[in-house]
Amino acid sequence: MVSTAVEGGTQVGGAKRPVSFPTKAKAFLALTKPRVIELLLVTTAPVMILAANGIPSPWLIVATLVGGALSAGSANAFNCYIDRDIDAVMHRTKRRPLVTGEVTPREALVFAWVLGVVSTVWLLAFTTWLAAALSVGAILFYVFVYTLWLKRRTEQNIIWGGIAGCFPVLIGWAAVTGELSWAAFILFAVVFLWTPPHYWPLSMRYREDYASVNVPMLAVVRSGKVVGLQTILYAWATVVCSLLLIPVAGMGIVYSLAAVASGTWFVYETHRLYGLAIRGEEPKPMRVFHASITYLTLLFLAVAIDPLLPF
């Protein structure tokens, strides 16, 4: 049975079927890409603790996380609206709400705008003007620079487009201090350098999907050996950059051990991926993808714990 998108509902076997409220609500939530938001928020709260050198106001943490989630949800909803044509072709995205018809393009666009406006007003009201401005910058960068400009034009799309995913670090810091510092920029750089070795393995796994819609992800236009080598280089750069935080922010033993230990494991997995690629074996890129998530989570968990310890 074939299902196609229609205005105001889904069409199954030629008959239009209305979308129930629970299904519609779930579809709107799916537009925000909750799993992506979860990963972004993992970097926000720890940075706030580091910026405050202790636990900030619980309300400030909640307000910043809510505002950040709304902001990221807006950017992701805009992305779904713009990419609905290729999402309908790619196997990985064919169940997204705009493809199935659970949400219409007009609904998605209005939803994205509402989230964007609400997130800005929320952050402006409950955090700082700088955090709100950075939030707007993140949305604009993700929508116009990555989605509309880079994604379908260059293999450098993830490298530069990933900057949007670094903004939560700055937003968290600005929400606490009202300004930015070198420590915040180092953590921004960590996420920036981490994004390619996080996403390129995923693009290897879905290489045929991206090729089918002519999106020039690195794995589509370059060999597995090249992707593997680039992944190694960026992973090493990520780990080295993370170590800069030790002298700059006065990080202690917990962060230092976490950065070295988790970083070593992350780099090892990228070397393993490259080794399999040059031997012509099945590369299993998702191992690196999942390792990258665990690495970033452990690193920022250490960022949160370290300032709370007396040594």
183-203 pLDDT tens trace = 999 999 999 999 999 999 999
Side by side, which strands form the sheet with 15-18? 3-6, 9-12, 15-18
Domain residue ranges of the chain, discontinuous segments joined by +: 31-93+102-180, 181-311
**Buried b / exposed e along 65-86 (16+ C-beta atoms within 10 A):** bbbbbbbbbbbbbbbbbbbbeb
Distance CA 60, CA 39 (A): 19
Cβ(40)–Cβ(165) below 8 Å: yes
Residue carrying the six token digits 């780990």? 239
Fold of 31-93+102-180: Tetracycline Repressor; domain 2 (1.10.357)
Confidence of residue 9 (pLDDT cuts 50, 70, 90): low
Fold of 181-311: Four Helix Bundle (Hemerythrin (Met), subunit A) (1.20.120)
Domains 31-93+102-180 and 181-311 share a fold: no
Instruction: Specify which residues 302 forms β-bridges with.
Output: none
Predicted pLDDT at 6: 44
Confidence of residue 252 (pLDDT cuts 50, 70, 90): very high
pLDDT in tens, 167-186: 999 999 999 999 999 999 99
Predicted pLDDT at 18: 76
- Scanning the chain, the segments in alpha helix (DSSP H) are 21-31, 34-52, 58-82, 84-87, 97-100, 105-126, 129-140, 157-161, 167-177, 182-205, 207-212, 218-221, 224-249, 253-278, 286-305
pLDDT in tens, 190-241: 999 999 999 999 999 999 999 999 999 999 999 999 999 999 999 999 999 9
Cβ(99)–Cβ(88) below 8 Å: yes
Coil, helix or strand for 40? helix
Predicted pLDDT at 16: 55
Confidence of residue 1 (pLDDT cuts 50, 70, 90): very low
Neighbours of 18 (CB within 10 A): 9
Cβ(139)–Cβ(116) below 8 Å: yes
